[in-house]
Amino acid sequence: MLGCSQRLQREAAQQRLKGRAELLVRESGGGAVLTGPWLVAVSVVLPPGHPWLAGGLLESYRQLGQLHGAALAAFGIAARALAPQELPRVQQAIGVRPVDWACFGSLSPWEVVSADGRKLVGLAQRRRQSGVLLVAGTLLDVPDWPLLCDALGQSQEAQLLRQRTVSGAELAQRQIPPEQFAEVLTQGLEHALT
Amino acid sequence: MTGVTLGTEAWKDIDPATEALLDKWLVAQGDTVRAGQALANAVLVKSNLEIVAPSAGRIAQILVPAGQTFARGKPVALLQEVA
């Protein structure tokens, strides 16, 4: 799935995929994501005037990022939503250059990382006068990074993505059933939004 | 002539060095638009946002083409207001 500003790469990516995966362009920002059973994605639609929207883009990200951190904690996974002021230090500590074309290849405010700064939850949003769509994706297992990199013509960057990310299963040292994680997220959202 | 900008609320708490990407124009130079109409989409910190017309008028000039970035407060188009 490509971010909205990557739509011009759609045709070339489609050709490289050779039918190995379906290709979509989403309406929110950010980089490419490979969806599948390793990823739990959440979409939250909020009406204008909702409290989560009052503080601007970053405040919405903070709410959604911290909610994901709490959901991961329920499975014994130590992860935190990254405050904007922490970004430069964590970027440097990772020691691997960003991969900007991939959602999970770089860090933005309030995305969720492990203690050593590897990313496992990516965030994005779409704001319209009629309402706001917040989206998040959590890596519960390791995606097929070589497939994603091949689709974007960046085969040499799979190792960088592997180094900059971590999955829930790796941190918990056990598989996290996606449906169980989705249930905890749903409960958290219901509690926070009502 | 009025400059069309991405609303100041979008930039709240964003690092001053960060620029937005003009993702897509929804109107063309010369088009007549109404107040509040979405004119373009921009991407800022992974957020897809609308740039709306501050008043009714005609798009006199597009200053930032699709695919280019722009800084906080920079007009992306000039709007010739109509009485």
Nearest one of A17, A42, A13, A30 to A105, comparing CA atoms: A30
Residue in A4, A109, A126 closest to B45 by CB = A109
Give the per-residue pLDDT at A28. 86
Specify the pLDDT at position B65: 98
What ipTM score was computed for the predicted complex, to two decimals? 0.92
The minimum CA-CA distance between A173 and chain B, rounded to whole Å, is 31
What confidence tens digit (pLDDT) does each residue in A93-115 have? 998 999 999 999 999 999 999 99
How high is the pLDDT of residue B82?
82
Contacts (Cβ under 8 Å, ≥6 apart) of B15: A84
Quick one: angle between helices A57-73 and A178-193, nearest 10? 130
Cβ partners under 8 Å of residue B31, min gap 6 = B58, B59
Kindly state the average pLDDT of the residues B15-27. Answer: 95
CB contact under 8 A, B48 and A84: no
What is the distance in angstroms between the Cα of A153 and the nearest Cα belonging to chain B? 20
Residues B55 and B79: beta-carbon distance below 8 Å: yes
Question: How distant is the Cα of A3 from the closest Cα of chain B, in angstroms?
Answer: 9
Please determine, for residue A163, whether its predicted confidence score (pLDDT) is greater than 80: yes
- A93 touches A86 (CB < 8 A): no
pTM for the full model?
0.94
**CA–CA distance, A59 with B48 (Å, rounded to integer):** 15
Residues of A within 8 A of B41 (CB-CB) are 4
Cα distances (Å, whole numbers) of residue B11 to A91, A138, B3 = 22, 26, 17
CB neighbourhood size of B9 (10 A): 13
Which numeric CATH code is attached to B2-81?
2.40.50.100
CATH number at A125 reads 3.30.930.10
Residue in chain B lying closest to A129 (CA): B50
| Cα gap A67→A78, rounded to integer Å | 13
Over 70: is that where the pLDDT of A137 sits?
yes
Token pair listed for B33: 């638009």
Q: Do B12 and A125 touch (CB under 8 A)?
A: no
| CB nearest A56 (choices: B13, B21, B46) | B13
Residue A47 is part of which domain span?
Answer: 4-193
Which of B6, B22, B25, B47 is the best residue to mutate to test the A interface, defined by the most A CB atoms within 10 Å of its own CB?
B47
Domains identified in chain A, total number: 1
